[in-house]
Amino acid sequence: MKELYVIDLIQDFLEHVEIEMGRSINTARNYELYLNRFYEICSEGLKGEMKPSDITEEMLRKYRLRLNRFETDNRHTRLTATTQAYHLIALRGFLKYLARRGINSLDPSLVDLPKTHRPQVTFLHYDEIQAMLDEIDLETETGLRDRAIIELLFSGGLRVSELCKLNRDDINLDKKEFVVRGKGSKDRPIFIDESAAERVRDYLTVRHDSLPALFLNNSRNSGLPDTSGDYRRLTPRSIQRIIEKYTRAAGITKHVTPHTLRHSFATDLLMNGADLRAVQSLLGHSNISTTQIYTHITDTHLKDVHKKFHTETN
């Protein structure tokens, strides 16, 4: 029987992640980075190529210690607890893959994830979003585009990657709803309000091209056309710059990204009484715990409950 080596099995697993599991190319690349780092760290001192049976609890312990001390650059930047957890998630997935193939290695249940702090959610109130919108010049095609982008992000709760992939034919402005394919190749419905639909309609009205992308880069340095017609499609980084531009113009001091508008979408729904499960579906979260990062933001409502129902001492 042919000897199996970890370096080869990692490549098999990465193909499995992309093809059988249907994960995105970016996810596969991240797994590749994390597992290659595991291999580089843990193969030191081994005689010959690493085998699956070489992965032991002691190797795992030393790997976690090295991750905790790992420096990513000459400025001695350490890996965050969240990034360390991503490394271990990739390793655990790899070990589960080996187990399903009947290959003897470390039990994946022994890979515990480090405790991580719940991320601080930054969001904008409606008046802050309106302040951004008020800074946009609607007399230009670029201004009409930027207004449509910001309203669509806030109204639909889209991820920036989902927004960038949208084509003109994807969005039904009359019904004010459409479907996007999000993380894990899962489809979910997007609903937008009349204002967002009208702004997209205004932008498309002034377009004089036949390109499929919903949002285009208006820069003259956008490169030569490619055969897909996507050479002028806006990128996530371009949309980040657009958001930053109007954030500064509106005098908003928070660090605002396109994802901040998705946070704002979720918190706006919850603060107006939406059910958490419904918000989970609208965001496309597979796990309710992911949506729960927003619940502490709506705790301001608890102040009213306390004031109304708690007995005050004399």
Q: How many helices (H) and strands (E) does the chain have?
A: 13, 2
Helix axes 258-271, 141-156, angle to 10 degrees: 50
Q: How far apart are CA 106 and CA 52, in angstroms?
A: 8
Active site residue 308: no
Contact 217, 238 (CB under 8 A): yes
Active site residue 159: yes
Active site residue 259: yes
Q: How far apart are CA 258 and CA 310, in angstroms?
A: 40
Q: What separation, in Å, do the N-terminal and C-terminal C-alpha atoms of the chain show?
A: 83
Spot the catalytic one: 87, 159, 199, 233.
159
Tokens in use for 255? 């660090």
Residues 6 or more apart whose CB falls under 8 angstroms from that of 33 comprise none
Please list the residues that pair with 191 across neighbouring strands: 177
Residues 6 or more apart whose CB falls under 8 angstroms from that of 101 comprise none
Q: How far apart are CA 180 and CA 186, in angstroms?
A: 8
Q: How far apart are CA 92 and CA 113, in angstroms?
A: 9
Spot the catalytic one: 23, 145, 176, 262.
262
Spot the catalytic one: 87, 176, 199, 285.
285
Spot the catalytic one: 37, 145, 259, 263.
259
Spot the catalytic one: 51, 183, 188, 245.
183
Active site residue 246: no
Active site residue 294: yes
Active site residue 263: no
Please list the residues that pair with 179 across neighbouring strands: 189
Contact 188, 182 (CB under 8 A): yes
Catalytic residue numbers?
A: 159, 183, 259, 262, 285, 294
